[in-house]
Structure formats: structure tokens, C-alpha cells
Amino acid sequence: MITKFNTRLSLTRHELDKLAKDGVQIAAYVPAGVAAAESCLTGQSVVTYAPRSPISSGYHDLARTLVATMNARKLELSAAN
């Protein structure tokens, strides 16, 4: 997972290229945004504070990816037994 993702920054693009060359798979990208800082001030999670924000979408994508990966792994383990 990559947080505070910003494709406009050359450092971000450079690091993503480096990870790809090393064979690292990224499960989700969570962009940088004001909603994250604002949610901290209210004491809420960003998903509760700004459910339609790109940041919330990134965390939802991560959750879906993790659940799918865990379910696939369970199926593999069941088939092996």
C-alpha cells in the first residue's frame, strides 16, 4: 500500500518505477489530500468524514484487495487439505 500518493511528484514516480523493477506488487494507492488532515481535526476516520473522497476510495480498494487475497488463500489451503 502506498499512502500520500501523488503522481505529480517525480520522487513518487521514481519510487514506483523502482518497486516495479524489484517485482513489488502494490495492493492499493491512497492519494494525498486535505480530507485526511480535516478528518483528524474532527476525530473521525477519513472514511467516515469524507466517504466519497479519493482517499476513502483508496482505503476501500485496499480492503477489497485484502479480503479477496485472504479468500483466495483460504481456498488454496482448503484445496491442499
The model carries a pTM of 0.76
Whether 81 has a pLDDT exceeding 80, the answer reads no
State the Cα–Cα distance between residues 66 and 55, nearest whole angstrom.
17
- Domain definitions of the chain by residue range: 2-80
Whether 1 has a pLDDT exceeding 80, the answer reads no
The tens digit of pLDDT for each residue in 7-32 reads 788 888 888 899 989 998 888 889 98
Whether 71 has a pLDDT exceeding 90, the answer reads yes
> Phi first, then psi: what are they for 4, rounded to 5°?
55, 40
